[in-house]
Amino acid sequence: MTFEARELTPDRSVRDLFGAELRRHRERAEMSLRRLSEVVNYSKSQLARIEAAESLPYDDLPTKLDVCFGTGELFARLHTLAKKEPFPGKYRRVISEIESRAAVIEEYACATVPGLLQTRELAEESFRFGNPYAPDAEVEDLVQARMDRQALLERPKPPRCWFILDEAVLRRPVGKRKVMYQQLAYLIKTGMKPHVTVQVLPFAAGGHAEAGGSLMLYTLPHQPLTAYEEGSHSGTIIENQNDVATRRQNYDLLRAMALSPRDSEAMIRVAMEDWTPCEPPLT
C-alpha cells in the first residue's frame, strides 16, 4: 500500500512541526521511510504516523533522528515541546480514528455523559451550553456527528466498552427534566448490552487522581495503549508509556472504587426519580 503524505501545518502545532521537519530532512537525505526504519530501528508504519503528526515518538527516537540527520538537538527539543502541547482541536480527527479502530474503549467522565452514551437531546443541550450563539445548522451538524460516532457500538464486532461515571453526571441538570430522565434511561438500556459496562463512582468514594477531568484509554490491536485526557476547553493525548501506565493505574483504581454494575444501575434508577417529568397542572 502506497503511503500518501498528509498536509501538515507546522505553524500551528509542534507535533506538525516535528513531522514536517522529519519529512524535510528525510527527503533531503533522499531516504525512504523503509530505509529510515532500518537506520533508527522503528517500523515503517510507526514512522509514517509520526511524520503525518498522528503519533508522538517514544523518547529514544528524537536523539536517533538527530544523529541520523546531523541536526544537533533539533528533534530532541521539538519532542520536549510537543509532549507539553495540549491536544489541538484539529487533532480530534485523530482521536476519532483511534476510537473507530479500538478493540477496547475505557472512559471516566466527571461532569457529563460520555459522547458515546448521549441521547440526541442531551447532545444538543450540551453543544448549546458550549456555544449559545451557534446557528441551529451548526449545532445540528455537531449533534449528528456525535450520533454517527455511536454507530461503532452497533457494529457486528463492537469494541468492549467500559464507562465509569461520576455521580455528578447523574445529578447535574443538562436541559429540561425530561432530557435528563430520558438520558438516564438510555444509560441503563445501553449498559445492558453485552459489550458495554456502566459503573457509577459515588460521591462517597472521595477524591482521586483523575478528579476534575475526563480520561479515555484506547486499546488498539498490535499497538501500545493510548490515553486521552480532556478538560472543559482542551484535551491532551498521552503516548509516553510511563505516563500511560500511570493513567492505567488511575483508571483501575477508579474501577475498584466505583459501584458494581448492578448497584450502579440501582443508583441511576434512584436518580431518575429526581428527573421524573412534572405533569402539567390541571385546568
Note down pLDDT in tens along the chain; length 283 residues.
Answer: 444 455 566 666 788 899 999 999 999 999 999 999 999 998 898 898 888 877 777 788 999 999 999 999 999 999 988 776 644 444 555 566 788 889 999 999 998 999 999 999 999 999 888 778 888 888 888 888 889 889 999 999 999 999 999 999 999 999 899 999 999 999 999 999 999 999 999 999 998 988 878 999 999 988 889 998 877 656 678 878 899 999 999 999 999 999 999 999 999 999 999 999 776 555 5
| Phi, psi angles (nearest 5°) of residue 57 | -70, 160
What residue segments make up the domains of the chain, in order of their start? 14-84, 89-274
Write down the CATH number for the domain with range 14-84.
1.10.260.40
Of 3.30.720, 3.30.870, 3.90.25, 3.40.50, the CATH number of 89-274 is 3.30.870
Cα–Cα distance, 266 to 188 (Å, whole number): 9
Cα–Cα distance, 2 to 242 (Å, whole number): 33
30, HSE (Cβ side, Cα atoms, 13 Å): 0
